[in-house]
């Protein structure tokens, strides 16, 4: 087939050759949780200014989900991006939940501070995946989606129904998304989850291209990902996008950690010590956090969200700032980052 001979033990390489080899060339993107009112209510005008600032700073990768704000974030991204030339940016969104309009009184309790009036349910079948993509295109007004992430298919979101939904996705969403990719309807797909195991499971049973790894790899917490996740994605040619690389704002000074109010024991001291060392070397924690993630070969992009334009400007400055290699050596010497983790310049 296609002139490719499948040698013994080379099935994985064959699958890689058959993929579209989509490359995400934008190391800094913009995530959509905050614009979906994940932490505080934001007006349409405030959200527009955040997106406008990102665009004016040269950011060209935008990630959102219909889950964020119960479709609010996706609509806001679309209102802004459909004014732009479609070949100038990369857009990713997610499948895994279906949304139905309800009365205001019937909106279920969620993390969103000002959601739209929708109820939702998890569904990873092929039909639900196709419907979700069609509805995302309708909400955004865009003519295509570049990357589709299978969202929140993990035990922290679906509980003890994880095995059930994984089997559903294996027969449904995974196959459909691979077919859409092979037809050129989308450019790439993968998991978008907060845990390592679902990415490993997906790679074992399907052929994803790129996965959104949220809360799994940051300057504060990365050992498990270094040991278990990165070797597998590297072996299979799967790339990673970093979501919640600031541990949902904790690195930036917020008193929440990975979307929860409970801060892990010892984390405040760790954050303070890294920040103090950063100051000694003329940098700051935001710059260190962004550059640490992108130093790992497996991560092609980091997509911090923003609740105000100034945060976008801070992120753009941070990715370009110069950090002494001695800073990273000192962090490793003090045991503040894992000795096996890649750091800039190495």
The whole-angstrom separation of Cα 312 and Cα 56 is 10
308 secondary structure, DSSP code: S
Active site residue 68: yes
- Which is nearest to 55 in space by CA: 21, 90, 22? 90
The whole-angstrom separation of Cα 192 and Cα 104 is 29
Q: Residue 150: which residues within 8 A CB-CB, separation 6 or more?
A: 94, 95, 96, 124, 169, 173, 174, 177, 189, 190, 191, 192, 193, 202
Calculate the alpha carbon distances from 161 to 41, 66, 109, 256 in Å.
32, 21, 20, 27
The whole-angstrom separation of Cα 40 and Cα 122 is 25
The whole-angstrom separation of Cα 222 and Cα 341 is 8
Annotated active-site residue in 26, 61, 62, 68: 68
- Which is nearest to 95 in space by CA: 145, 134, 131, 129? 129
- Tokens describing residue 186: 């989308």
The whole-angstrom separation of Cα 289 and Cα 284 is 9
The whole-angstrom separation of Cα 275 and Cα 331 is 11
Following CA atoms 179, 228, 258, 157 in sequence, which dihedral angle do they give, to the nearest 10 degrees? Answer: 50
Q: What are phi and psi of 188, to 5 degrees?
A: -165, 160
* Cβ atoms of residues 64 and 32 within 8 Å: yes
* Cβ atoms of residues 306 and 255 within 8 Å: no
Catalytic (active-site) positions: 68
């Amino acid at each position: 087939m296609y002139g490719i001979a499948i040698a013994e033990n080379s099935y994985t390489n064959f699958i890689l050759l058959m993929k579209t080899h989509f490359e995400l060339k934008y190391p800094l993107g913009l995530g959509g949780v905050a614009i979906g009112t994940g932490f505080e209510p934001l007006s349409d005008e405030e959200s527009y200014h955040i997106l406008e600032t990102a665009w004016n700073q040269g950011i060209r990768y935008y990630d959102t989900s219909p889950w964020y704000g119960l479709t609010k974030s996706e609509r806001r991204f679309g209102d802004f991006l459909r004014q732009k030339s479609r070949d100038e940016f990369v857009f990713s969104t997610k499948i895994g939940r279906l949304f139905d309009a309800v009365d205001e009184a019937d909106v279920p309790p969620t993390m969103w501070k000002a959601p739209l009036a929708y109820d939702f349910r998890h569904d990873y079948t092929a039909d639900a995946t196709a419907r979700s993509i069609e509805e995302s295109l309708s909400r955004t007004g865009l003519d295509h989606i570049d990357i589709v992430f299978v969202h929140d298919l993990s035990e922290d979101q679906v509980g003890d129904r994880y095995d059930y939904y994984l089997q559903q996705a294996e027969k449904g969403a995974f196959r459909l998304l691979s077919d859409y990719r092979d037809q050129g309807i989308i450019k790439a797909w993968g998991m978008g989850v907060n845990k390592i195991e679902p990415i490993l499971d997906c790679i074992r049973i399907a052929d994803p291209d790129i996965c959104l790894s949220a809360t799994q790899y940051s300057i504060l917490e990365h050992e498990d990902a270094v040991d278990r996740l990165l070797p597998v994605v590297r072996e299979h040619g799967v790339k990673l996008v970093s979501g919640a690389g600031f541990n949902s704002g904790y690195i930036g000074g917020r008193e929440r950690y990975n979307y929860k109010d409970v801060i892990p024991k010892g984390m405040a001291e760790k954050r303070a010590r890294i920040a103090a060392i950063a100051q000694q070397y003329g940098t700051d924690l935001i710059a260190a956090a962004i550059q640490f993630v992108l130093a790992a070969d497996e991560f092609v992009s980091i997509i911090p969200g923003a609740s105000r334009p100034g945060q976008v400007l801070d992120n753009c400055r941070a990715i370009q700032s110069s950090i002494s290699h001695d800073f990273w050596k000192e962090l490793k010497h003090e045991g503040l980052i894992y000795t096996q983790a890649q750091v800039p310049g190495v």
